[in-house]
Amino acid sequence: MSVDNTLTLNNGIKIPKVQLGTWLMNNDEVKRAVQQAVKIGYRGFDTAKDYGNELGVGKGIWNSDIERSELFLTTKLPTNVKDYKNTKRAIDKALTTFGLDYIDLLLIHSPQPWIEVNRVSDRHFEGNLENWQAMEEALKAGKVRAIGVSNFLKEDVDNILKNGEIVPAVNQIEVNVGHTPWELMNYCQSQGMIIEAYSPLANGRLLTNSKIKELAKKYRVSPAQLMLKYDLQLGCVVLPKSDDIDEMKQNLELDFTINSRDMDKLKRLEL
C-alpha cells in the first residue's frame, strides 16, 4: 500500500493513512528519519510540542526534495496550555519553529496536562474550549488546515461538540490488537471524526506474540504489518514510529487484506 492512499477529513482535506510517528526521537534523529522517510514514500509526519523535536521535523521537511504541499504535518499543543491567549502564542511559535507557513493538522494533545493525567478528575472543559477557540481562529486564518483532539474521552469530545463551532477532524488515541476502545471509536466515527491510532504496534510488545506471528505467517507478512493492517481495516490512520530504514519500508508495504474471520480473531484476541 502506498502512503499516498488517503482518507478524507470532515472538512475535505486528504490525510495519508500511514504516517511516521516521531515520539522519543531527538531533533537530529528525527531530521534524518524524516528525510529518509520522504525518500521512500512517506508523506505524513506526526509530532508534538511536548516531544521536543518540532525543530528537527521542520528541518527534515525543509531538506526534502518534495513540495511542501505534498507533505502532511501534524503537531499538538503543549498540554500545560489551557487558555486562549497562550494557545494563540503556542500556534505562532510552532509555525516559527517549523519554519513553515501552515500546519496541516493541529491537535489538543490531552484534555489534561500530563502532570494531572490519572491523578485528578478535572477534565479542564473550559480550558479545552479556550484551546479550541484559538484553534478555530487559526484554521480560519489559514495557519492550520484542520484541527482535532488527542486522548479525548467521550465527555471531552462532547464538550467540544456542544460548545465549539467546528467538529474535530480526528481523535488521536491508542489503538492496537488487544487494545481497541470500541465504544469511543464508534462514537467518534459516528460524529464524522477519523481515529488516528498511535502505538499501533503496541510499543513492540506484541511482535513476538505466538498468535499474531501465526496469523502473520498465513498472510506472508511480518507481525508489524499484520498489526498495522488491522488498524487500517478499522478505518484508522496509523502512526508507526521507526528510524530504521528497513522497518520504515516494511511499514508501507501493506497491500494485502485480512479476511473477516481473521479480523474477528484479532478483535477477540486475549493477551
Is residue 187 flagged as an active site residue?
Answer: no
167 closest CA partner among 56, 51, 12: 12
27 vs 33: CA distance, rounded Å: 10
Q: Are 109 and 135 in contact (CB under 8 A)?
A: no
Measured distance CA(146)–CA(101) in Å, rounded:
14
H/E element, 21: strand 20-21
CA dist 215 to 118, 211, 225, 263, Å?
Answer: 35, 6, 11, 10
- Provide the grid cell at 98: 517549523
Give the integer Cα–Cα distance in Å for 126 and 6.
34
| 14 grid coordinates | 486528504
Q: How crowded is the C-beta side of 137, counted as CA atoms within 13 Å? A: 13
Instruction: Give 35-87 as a DSSP string.
Output: HHHHHHT--EEE--GGGT-HHHHHHHHHTSSS-GGG-EEEEE--TT--SHHHH
Check 51, 102, 198, 230 and give the catalytic one.
51
| Residues designated catalytic | 51
